């Protein structure tokens, strides 16, 4: 499994690495600005994020030295470990801001729900790659993947962490639609999901989660409380105009009007300081990376590699789409980080591990599966 020959080096994906390094640079610059001037006694967040990036690049080196097909046999071991970690976090984890989703490792607070996203990608890719159907999956064929998705979904929802739980649903839907469903099955599932919306609203969503949706529909109804985040974010994004206010000159962040400016609303700081042109550059780099991920998926020589890449791309895309829509006020605030850009160790390590898997697939596209 550790065999490394010249063809692997020749197929090394320098382009996606360039995308990641570019986004990492913008991230660290943005985090420095979001916390400027730093008056805390602890390590500044941009330094912590730099450490996480170094760890992430080290993890990429480890993953690309492995044949990605090793995950085909390890998937259920990884899945079991993640379920145990989610249970531990739920029962004995660190409580912060009314949620119980972290495991204190001393030097680092691990968030198992972030790792659960990538683990679900590997698990579903393994399951679907072993099943062959010309007409598409029926309900019977979906029982196992639905169950594999539902278990971590419920554990994460219990923490509570609606945003991450929904991400598992988006990953499942994206990968399942890619492998094809029978029309009858798709119609039935859409009907079930539609009928569950009012039930979820009344019995599953917590009061503050319903409040977020109501605030999204009418943020001006409570501008100093529940609507504050959205309104301040929209002000920050809009005030950047064409070329922005200049690096370190944003007022919404530096005057403490914008909450969570280094995590969920990191892009708001970037848009205010770099304006429309800077935002366009960021989005061009970011979504070029996502499109290149689809290119890697199409170049894979086996179904498992293709599904892994589709899963990683969907993981990054949906988080980015929801976060960007959230900061611009066109979706409710759900606490969704912008991968590779928002501060957070677990999210960053998970995303870079996923990129490492895609790079491993790309490097081995010349190999014919046995």
Out of 115-119, 227-231, 291-295, 356-360, pick the least confident: 227-231
Whole-number Cα distances in Å, 137 to 87, 124, 143, 178, 182: 31, 13, 10, 11, 6
* 147 cis-preceded (ω within 30 degrees of 0): no
Strand order in the sheet with 94-96: 94-96, 99-104, 109-110
> What does DSSP assign to residue 301?
S
The token pair that represents 369 in the structure block: 């599966």
Cα gap 91→229, rounded to integer Å: 31
List the domain boundaries for the chain: 1-66+206-365, 73-204
Percentage above 70 pLDDT, the chain: 91
pLDDT for the residue 16: 96
Task: State whether the Cα torsion 12-13-17-18 is positive or negative.
Answer: positive
Cα gap 57→69, rounded to integer Å: 21
**Average pLDDT of the chain to the nearest whole number:** 87
Tell me the per-residue pLDDT of 190-220, one tens digit each, with 9 for 90 and over: 888 888 778 877 777 777 667 767 665 666 5
CA 83 to centroid of chain Cα atoms: 19
pLDDT for the residue 137: 86
Confidence of residue 232 (pLDDT cuts 50, 70, 90): confident
Q: How many helices (H) and strands (E) does the chain have?
A: 14, 3
Cα gap 32→222, rounded to integer Å: 31
pLDDT for the residue 1: 45
Cα gap 360→358, rounded to integer Å: 5
Task: Give strand ranges (E) for the chain.
Answer: 94-96, 99-104, 109-110
pTM score: 0.91
Burial of 349 from C-beta contacts in 10 A (0-12 / 13-18 / 19+):
buried
Enumerate residues 6+ apart whose C-beta is below 8 A from 249.
273
Cβ–Cβ < 8 Å for 257, 232: yes
Task: Compute the average pLDDT of residues 239-265.
Answer: 86
The token pair that represents 65 in the structure block: 């030295």
Out of 10-24, 67-81, 207-221, pick the least confident: 207-221
> Coil, helix or strand for 245?
coil
Largest CA distance in the chain: 62
Place of tokens 């061009």: 284
Torsion of CA 351, 352, 358, 364, to 10 degrees: -160
Check residues 182 and 308 and name the one with the higher pLDDT. 308
């Amino acid at each position: 499994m550790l065999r490394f020959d010249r063809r692997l080096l020749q197929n090394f994906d320098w382009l996606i690495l360039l995308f990641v390094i570019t986004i990492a640079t913008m991230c660290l610059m943005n985090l420095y600005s979001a916390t400027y001037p730093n008056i805390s006694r602890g390590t500044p967040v941009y330094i912590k994020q730099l450490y996480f990036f170094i760890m992430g690049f080290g993890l990429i080196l480890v993953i690309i030295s492995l044949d990605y097909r090793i995950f085909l046999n390890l998937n259920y071991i990884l899945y079991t470990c993640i379920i145990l970690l989610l249970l531990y976090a739920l029962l004995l984890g660190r409580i912060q801001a009314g949620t119980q989703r972290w495991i204190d490792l001393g030097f680092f607070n691990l968030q198992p729900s972030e790792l659960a996203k990538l683990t679900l990608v590997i698990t579903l890719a393994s399951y679907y790659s072993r099943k062959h159907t010309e007409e598409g999956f029926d309900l019977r064929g979906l029982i196992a993947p639905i169950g594999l998705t539902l278990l971590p979904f419920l554990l994460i929802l219990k923490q509570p962490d609606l945003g991450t739980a929904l991400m598992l649903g988006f990953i499942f839907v994206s990968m399942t639609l890619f492998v094809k469903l029978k029309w009858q099955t798709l119609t039935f599932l859409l009907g079930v999901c539609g009928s569950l919306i009012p039930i979820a609203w009344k019995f599953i969503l917590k009061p503050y989660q319903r409040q977020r949706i109501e605030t999204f529909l009418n943020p001006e109804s409570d501008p100093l409380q529940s609507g504050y985040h959205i309104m301040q974010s929209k002000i920050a994004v809009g005030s950047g105009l064409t070329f922005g206010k200049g690096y370190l000159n944003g007022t919404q962040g530096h005057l403490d009007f914008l909450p969570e400016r280094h995590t969920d609303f990191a892009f708001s700081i970037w848009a205010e300081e770099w304006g429309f042109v800077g935002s366009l550059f960021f989005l061009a780099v970011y979504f070029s990376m996502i499109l290149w991920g689809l290119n890697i998926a199409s170049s894979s020589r086996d179904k498992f590699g293709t599904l892994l890449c589709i899963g990683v791309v969907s993981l990054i895309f949906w988080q980015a789409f929801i976060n960007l829509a959230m900061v611009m006020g066109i979706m409710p605030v759900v606490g969704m980080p912008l991968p590779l850009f928002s501060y957070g160790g677990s999210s960053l390590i998970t995303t870079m591990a996923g990129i490492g898997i895609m790079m491993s697939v790309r490097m081995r596209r010349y190999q014919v599966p046995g």
